[in-house]
Structure 1
Amino acid sequence: MPRARKTDSTAKRKRAPRKAAAASRGIAPEDCRLAAGSAEIAAVRRRIEEEGGAVLGAYRDPLGGNPLVLASLPIDKVEPTPFQRDLSEAHHKKLAGVIDRTGIFLDPVIAITGPDGGFWTPNGRHRLAAMQRLGARAITALVVPKREIAWQILALNTEKAHNLRERSLEVIRIYRGLLDEDGARPEKSFAFYLEEAALVTLGLCYEKKGNFAGGAYAPILRRLESLTDEPLRKAMVAHEKRAEMVFALEERVGEVVSKLRARGLVSPYLRTFVVARINPLRWIKGGPPTLEEVLKTMRERAAKFNTDRIKQEDLATAGGVPDDEG
């Protein structure tokens, strides 16, 4: 049976940096000054003016010294990146009400230049929608010349996502955006943005079925999948193949779960119980087989699963993610 590569560090949670000595990093306040006519921001300045916006000022960020431009942009020239989480109707309406009552917009959105004109905001979707709801003509934005900042911001948003489903959907949206941006680069070079390979495969599953029971399969994918040195476009094909295999397995597992319920067995962890019973990794010593081989074996075992031998007391020790949670 072929053996899988050892998983890399992308599956590990990012550790918070150690606390640095006070005032030991960055640049001094006077060094943050940057003339609006500086050559470093000339291209961004031209783009802003060509789109009908106005440059209000420029400065260097105090930590990395990166040039940033404060601008007022025509609101119809700004749109959210197409690969971030969906707009919350309740949140943006509430935000619009607050801005309307105060009569002042204080929190500029972050913006980058769009690939086909205009601007993208990777973290200002609700503020933008709130201002659009209020009929605003312009919106204040902090325009970042480095386009890759969009992926970094979205990666941070992924870590804040509430559950596996949200995180997976954000990662697959980022992945599709990266494909459009530079699909020839190695997948592993985007590890910071993608976090772990399992989220890409699960994202494809959630796109196909919103209530997919991803939590039951996530531990297996995390153990056996890793980001590769293959170009993004080629790596995406592999993720799509694995997602189809996971779906084929889920069909068989779903049939077993239905049979157990028909027999009157009750547990919020029925699916997790079945997946654990057919998972061969529990008995394998040494290096595990490939993910494809494991999924194939699990599907075969699910097809032969004898539900008549399962008793209610067998489910007492079942745990993990409830069947109704992704």
Structure 2
Amino acid sequence: MGTAKPAARKSPSKRAPARRRPRKAKALSRGLTAGECRLDTLAGDANDVKARIENEGGFVLGCYNDPLGKQPVIAAVLPIEAIEPTPFQRDLSQAHHRRLADVLDRTGMFLDPIIAVSAPEKGFWTPNGRHRLEAMRRLGAKAITALVVPKREIAWQILALNTEKAHNLRDKSLEVIRIYRNLIDEDQGKSEKDVAFYLEEPSYATMGLCYEKNPRFSGAVYNSFVRRLTEFSDQALAKALRGHEKRSE
């Protein structure tokens, strides 16, 4: 009778690195005081954005330095036809924007300005205000209040900025793959690691490709597995995307 061979040990699955969260800071230790947020004049890109607002029929209400990041922000009223959601944003929820329109109609006021950035050619994009924008359009509004940020990179920070409606896995994944392609168009030289903040998790790009092929894809079944096996790459975005495409097949 032969000696039984010991069972081969399975190598543990590689876990994705834990996401770091900022620790609670000491009270009153960061940023600007209320008085320091005053901004009387704009320069550089911020002044160019102010000129675009006025040239496209908008009205500048004022400007200030953001109290946390110390970046200039322009408060403005924009013509509603001059602003569109970012092209990589999640699909519009008919039910959600209709509910918002109903609430806005009853209150009679729009008190939650959208965030906006300059679009590549003309007009403006909102990275996190699609449902509010469509709700105002549904009500026939002519203009909408916005906080216009001269720093265009904010457009890709949708997942972090979302305040309207919680993203599910499908929403996140589809937005990430759309952001991914837009980032390739903007700058092909960047690596996947360079833009990791905008993508949140590397597995979302793979899942997004799967959802594009099959809207009923059961992503929740596979995402935890894919997440353990993928990490952000040092490769250029276009090349890294081909890796995601291969995994999604």
C-alpha separation between the residues in 1 aligned to 2:181 and 2:14? 23
1:170 aligned partner: 175
SS at match of 1:25: coil
C-alpha separation between the residues in 2 aligned to 1:111 and 1:156? 12
Map residues 67-216 of structure 1 onto 2, 5 A cutoff: 67-157=72-162, 161-216=166-221
2:225 aligned partner: 220
2:43 aligned partner: 39
Report if the CA contact (8 A) 1:73-1:138 is conserved.
yes
1:282 aligned partner: none
C-alpha separation between the residues in 1 aligned to 2:51 and 2:127? 21
The Cα offsets for residues 120-141 of structure 1, whole Å up to 9 and x where unpaired, read as: 0011111110111111111111
Equivalenced residues, count: 235
Deviation at 1:55, TM superposition (A): 0.9
Report if the CA contact (8 A) 1:154-1:174 is conserved.
no
Question: 1:186 and 1:33, CA in 2 relative to 1: closer, same or farther beyond 3 A?
Answer: same
TM-score, structure 1 as length reference: 0.67
Map residues 291-306 of structure 1 onto 2, 5 A cutoff: none
SS at match of 1:68: strand
Map residues 56-71 of structure 1 onto 2, 5 A cutoff: 56-71=61-76
The match for 1:30 among 17, 20, 35 is 35
Cα RMSD, aligned residues only: 2.1
Report if the CA contact (8 A) 2:159-2:172 is conserved.
no
Question: 1:161 and 1:232, CA in 2 relative to 1: closer, same or farther beyond 3 A?
Answer: farther
C-alpha separation between the residues in 2 aligned to 1:186 and 1:78? 30
Question: 1:95 and 1:217, CA in 2 relative to 1: closer, same or farther beyond 3 A?
Answer: closer
Deviation at 1:240, TM superposition (A): 1.1
1:52 aligned partner: 57
The Cα offsets for residues 136-190 of structure 1, whole Å up to 9 and x where unpaired, read as: 11111100000011222334449x8554323222221221221222232111111
Question: What letter matches 2:152 in structure 1?
Answer: R
Deviation at 1:7, TM superposition (A): 6.7
Structure of higher CA gyration radius: 1
C-alpha separation between the residues in 2 aligned to 1:7 and 1:112? 39
Q: Does 1:236 align with 2:238?
A: no
C-alpha separation between the residues in 2 aligned to 1:104 and 1:51? 24
**Identity across matched positions, percent:** 63
Larger fraction in helix = 1
Deviation at 1:192, TM superposition (A): 1.1
C-alpha separation between the residues in 1 aligned to 2:18 and 2:140? 42
